Structure 1
Amino acid sequence: MTSSNLLEIKDLRVTYGSGAAAVPAVRGVDLAVEPGKKLGIAGESGCGKSTLALALLRLLPATAKLSGEILLDGEDVLTMKWGRLRAVRWAGASIVFQGAMHSLNAVHRIGDQIAEPVLLHQHATPAAGRKRAIELLEQVGLPAARADAYPHELSGGQRQRVMIAMALACDPRLIVADEPTTALDVMIQAQILRLIEQLVAEKDISLLMISHDLAVLSDTCDRLAVMYAGRIVEEGPAKAVYDNAAHPYGSALSAAFPRIGDPASRRAPRGLPGDPPDPSALPSGCTFHPRCPVALDSCAHEDQELRDAGPGRRAACVHVSPAGPAVPTAPEASAGSPA
């Protein structure tokens, strides 16, 4: 039976190095994106989000070893020959990298950089490539005259718009946006997010968006997956995960941001002590247990797989039940919590 999903990730594993020195960055991820839908992936720095994004189009360095399946329209990206993979990049799926200044070529004009994938993939003439570049600039809210500018002549928000224009150049069916609003001020961030939403809706494009900000993802995406130590620990409808997380890590990420209209959260936003574990020295059992406020003694020895956490939801926590999220508060679980 043919899958209805545009993108399916099955048991994806990514390691850097080999042998005893191999470091697991992504550990058995399973995700799917339906046509025209938006999936968000959240997590702290070091949880494997960017590695996952780059793996989707095999953009990782040669030191990375990949296994599993990445099915784009039913075709496995990991087994594609280089010629086919080159054709799929930009035309089938494209990526908006974080840090637009570092992703754009400083010595080439903006218009030439946007036109390049059109010339390569659609075999357009230079005049047609130029015309397409101007069309794309106007689609992302920039005047045609910006085609002759160099990256350093644009603001951070304008450069990010250029990155989005490049991602749209060959009419891909999937866009992967890796922290597309990093380092932008709040007003520009909001504009970029609205622009992405508008373009995705108008062109019926699927979106996989990566961020550390659950609030942004819940406002932008249909579904949300929370990633920790290279694995998905929770997945479900975006609003439901943000408002009532089933996993203690998702709950902590959500609580780290003050809520508008909630004086208590604004005056005392709750964070999470510590950092994600070093991938080369993962703790035994549930990798989150050293930081978990509701961990049981068994969590230090028994790993947790994703399980049913309510309608359309999954979470990898011992406290989860099919009836829905039921993460206890720290005092209720203090007897079994680590010191």
Structure 2
Amino acid sequence: MSLLEIRGLRVTYGRGPSAVPAVRGVDLTLAAGTTLGIAGESGCGKSTLALALLRLLPSSARLAGTVLLDGEDVLGMRWGRLRTVRWAGASIVFQGAMHSLNAVHRIGDQIAEPLLVHRRETAAGARRRAAELLEQVGLPASRAGAYPHELSGGQRQRVMIAMALACAPRLIVADEPTTALDVMIQAQILRLIERLVAEQGIGLVLISHDLAVLADTCDRLAVMYAGRVVEEGPARTVYDAAAHPYGRALSAAFPRVGDPASRRAPRGLPGDPPDPAALPDGCTFHPRCPVALAGCAEEDQPLRAAGPGAHLAACVHVAGAPVDGPAGGRP
């Protein structure tokens, strides 16, 4: 049995004719001890998906589908059970550690809090465990008495990871955990995450706009566009040989080490993802797609086999459909 199974997950904000679809029928699976990366531009539904996994969305959000954590449906849990699962079964590392930590409490106390509430540890036991967790993420135990503003950005992010590990969860969801960090600290945080996954056998969902980071860190990679997964497969395969035009565009947008041409002229993608409240008909990517066909504006495409390793892509070209003429996509 998989650690995490997402089946037909939909998230909609609002009701009636004005309802806005933010996540549209996502299916993903994660095994214990492995890492799943989720990539896409801002506005594609990545963070909404992350928050939906633990039902952390506002009351205006309506969820449908199934999110199985160790075989138990998170979306159907009662509040008391959900409250326990959020720390002991799964935890989340939010982007922007300075905004997630309490500025007026020492970091040791913040790490100890879930241990006191969910593990019923004594105060002394919680303090000892907090010190152990700090050392586990590469910070000296003596920093437990520091306030968040006394730490660097990388150190605060390590504190967030220590908090996420406090109750020994089976799953960690990390939403842009290296945002705004310099490249050296970013590399350290990513290596730390990789080590913890390997040593503790936890499952990790890592969300980022940076395809290169995910390809270097994750086992599998899912690319989201306009609220749905348009490509999924082995992380390195999706990065190096994406089958969907959007996956190729994301990969090409990052300069490649050792490739002077990509540094001088990185290939971006004109335009922006569509407004979820006004999605285009057919394939939602077709207005920006350089290889769109006339039929792409009329019919959306399901995920299809695109290569070995369960590589899937939602593109008409993957199925080898007959060319019926361009649809005005960008050259």
Tell me the SS of whatever aligns to 1:69.
strand
In 2, the alpha carbon distance for the partners of 1:227 and 1:159 equals: 28
2:219 is aligned to: 222
Residues 48-87 of structure 1 aligned to structure 2 (within 5 Å): 48-87=45-84
Residues 122 and 170 in structure 1, CA contact (< 8 A), matched pair in contact too: yes
1:213 to 186, 210, 224: 210
User: Aligned pair 1:318/2:316, yes or no?
Assistant: yes
CA deviation map 1:171-205 (0-9, x unaligned): 11111000000000111100100011111111111
Tell me the TM-score normalized by structure 1: 0.95
Separation in 2, partners of 1:197, 1:42: 18
Match of 2:239 in 1: 242
Residue 201 of structure 1 pairs with residue 198 of structure 2: yes
User: Which residue number in structure 2 is paired with residue 89 of structure 1?
Assistant: 86
Q: Is the contact between residue 294 and residue 333 of structure 1 (CA under 8 Å) also seen in structure 2?
A: no
In 2, are the aligned partners of 1:236 and 1:313 still within 8 Å (CA)? Answer: yes
Tell me, yes or no, if the aligned pair for 1:41 and 1:225 is still in contact at 8 Å.
yes
Matched residue, 1:231:
228
Moved more, 264-273 or 62-71: 264-273
Equivalent-residue separation in structure 1 for 2:249 and 2:328 (angstroms): 16
Q: Counterpart of 2:107? A: 110
- The residue that corresponds to 1:18 in the other structure is 15
How high is the sequence identity, in percent, across the aligned residues? 79
Cα offsets for 1:241-288 (capped at 9, x unmatched): 000000000000000001111222122110000000000000110000
Q: Take 1:333 and 1:199, find their aligned partners in 2: how far apart are those partners?
A: 50
* 1: CA distance, partners of 2:226 / 2:326: 26
Aligned partner of 1:183 in structure 2 is: 180
Alignment partner of 1:34 out of 22, 31, 34: 31
Instruction: Give the AA of the match of 1:314.
Output: L
Distance 1:166 1:102 in 2: 14
Distance, in Å, in 1 between the alignment partners of 2:190 and 2:24 is 29
Cα distance in 1 for residues equivalent to 2:137 and 2:82? 27
**8 A Cα contact 1:297 1:338, kept in partner:** no
Segments of structure 1 that go 5 or more residues without pairing to the other structure are: 327-331
CA shift, 1:338, in A, is: 3.3
Structure 2 residue 291 is the aligned partner of structure 1 residue 294:
yes
Q: TM-score normalised to the size of structure 2?
A: 0.97
Asked if structure 2 preserves the Cα contact closer than 8 Å seen for 1:294 and 1:334, the reply is no
Which 5+ residue runs of structure 2 have no aligned equivalent? none
Root-mean-square deviation over aligned CA pairs: 1.4
Verify the 8 A CA contact 2:294 2:324 in the aligned structure 1.
Answer: no
Q: Which amino acid aligns with 2:262?
A: S
Q: Please name the residue that 1:253 is paired with.
A: 250
DSSP 3-state at the match of 1:235 = strand
Partner of 2:157: 160
Task: Pick which of 244-253 and 257-266 moved more.
Answer: 257-266
Match of residue 141 from structure 2? 144
Do the aligned residues in 1 keep the contact of 2:9 with 2:63 (CA within 8 Å)? Answer: yes
Does the 8 Å CA contact 2:197/2:204 hold for their aligned counterparts? yes
**Over 6 Å off, 4+ runs:** none
User: Which letter does structure 2 place at the counterpart of 1:224?
Assistant: L
Give CA-to-partner distance per residue, 1:128-154, whole Å, 9 cap, x none: 000000000001111111111111111
Matched, 1:338 2:329: yes
Question: 1:272–1:334: structure 2 CA closer, same or farther, 3 Å change rule?
Answer: farther
Q: Which amino acid aligns with 1:54?
A: L
Structure 1 residue 333: Cα displacement: 9.7
Aligned length: 328
Whole-Å separation in 1 of the counterparts to 2:37 and 2:284: 22
Preserved CA contact (<8 Å) 2:295 2:324: no
Distance in 1 separating the partners of 2:173 and 2:138: 20
What is the CA–CA distance in structure 2 between the aligned matches of 1:271 and 1:220, rounded to whole Å?
A: 23
Please give the alpha-carbon distance, in whole angstroms, between the structure 2 residues aligned to 1:42 and 1:279: 17
Q: SS at 1:283's partner residue?
A: coil
